[in-house]
Chains A and B, each alone.
Chain A
Amino acid sequence: MFKKRKTVGMTELGKREQRLAYWLLLPTFLILFTIAFYPLVQVFYTSLTDKTFASNQETNFVGLQNYHHLLGMTIKELPPVIDEDTGEQLLNPDTQKKVYERAIRILPREPVRFRELFQFGFLGRRYVVGAVDREFIRAMGDTISFTIFSVLLETLLGLGIALVVNSHFKGRGVMRATMLVPWAVITVVSARIWEFMLSPTRVGFFNVVLQKLGLGDGQIAFLRLPEWSMPSLVAVDVWKTTPFMALLILAGLQLIPKSLYEAAEVDGASSIRQFFTITLPLLRPSLAVALVFRTLDALRVFDVFQVLLAQSRYSLASYNYYQLIGNRAMGLASAIGVVIFVLIFAFAMLYMKLLGVDTE
């Protein structure tokens, strides 16, 4: 409505002001164009080529081949291995499980080779899922599960901490300041500290503590065993980022007028009722902003993965780094960059729709 009035009844002065506004905005647009839009287009263009990083080798245009390489997946059924004597499916003599043809023989090799991602059984048949770039698909899965678990835990813990430091108690100021310490530590530094604590011998803090509690033998390789590495990483991230979450939520809590609680008190609402009918609904905008921030941050996680897992397990961003620096495949690395961009964009849109973030 406001817009309409502006364009219809615009005076000479209004037009002049508008022109001035465009001129004043021009530098911003130029800067945005050079530092955001231009590199983005450049990356997208590079992703359609087979450019080698730091090399004079000729670069060819390869169309969508890089994307096909990254995202190519297939499902094949594994035929059972039949015992020639009995005509029945062969059983593994050790485990008594049914034996199927090996995935490596079933997955296609031409024109590109598919590598085994995982197998699953469905309606008595056995299938194998193959991917052209197995590491990338795994990195995508790992990044998304890392994002879900870390953001979920950070939100819950952050909410709890925010509620505590929002209440009145002695030493609240000191508490609020100390709460922020993990967030103030540089991620690479804190990742190194955690690396020492997660050390695979009894030099490591966690191995000592768990052994004292009678769990494990003090030799758990937290960062190298597949079942341990993801929980360890989520723990590091939660430790580090919960304060940030708490801070954003605390700011939201302080926006809620005290009078609402007083009125609820008078009406005899319990504090649990107050939390669900007053605090949570009024906190929603701040919570949405905090969630968007953290989710987008977590999706492009690089430092903890790079420092703690290096090349044993990748996030999307650390796989991107590996392909660029380690493998010097600049075209492929650019394609990964574009995929990360699209993924983050999709998540951002999803959040806006789901949480009804006001765009006006």
Chain B
Amino acid sequence: MVSINVKNVGLVYRLRQKISLARKTPAVQHTGGRVSAAGGRKTVIALEDLSFSLEAGDRLGLVGSNGAGKTTLLKVLYGIYEPTMGKVEMKGRVDALFNISLGFRKEATGRRNIVLRGLINGWSLDQINDRMDAIIEFSELGDFIDLPFKTYSQGMAARLAFSVATSLEPEILLMDEWIGAGDARFQEKAKRRMEEIAEKAGIIVLASHNHGLLKRTCNKILELDKGRLKAFLPVESWEETG
């Protein structure tokens, strides 16, 4: 049974002054949260004392202003950031849809890029081969699939990235904004694909500023404010307050 259990999670990191011969500037771009300076040390409190749990069937919408910690929380759930306090327990395979065009190589063919992206996603060669035809078909690239990625138009590249990224059967799906690609007709198809994935996934966590989308897709809402949990409530209650 898939589940997410977040207990008293905090993420605090030091703004390291990089050892440098240049004039001192903070080494890190702020990912959100609050900056505090104590004892000459600058730290970022990106997340503070977050606790919530989700079970199979839950669709959580993450809301909050820019810098509230939505992406940071997604990255903590995915395992890119290790929380400095508390505990995250994820039961189920976690897939994330952020930065879907990461790792595409312009000199390699579309087909080769599917293999590379699949490997990066942790798929086996058999899984990649099984999914290959469906990915190519969905991307509508036709014969272009055997040409170098650099010959693709922006729309074609986006269609390929979308097709590979969404060719999965996630148990837990993390998304930073709902993704789409291509022209109006493909957008429609992409929307249906996203809805299918969302239906299949055991749990979804979706960060978005699109309240209409969140109301349509989610059953729970978690609101963050400067890294703190401001509200965690059913979507109906959120609609009433919002």
Do these two chains interact?
no
User: Which A residues are closer than 8 A to B by beta carbons?
Assistant: none
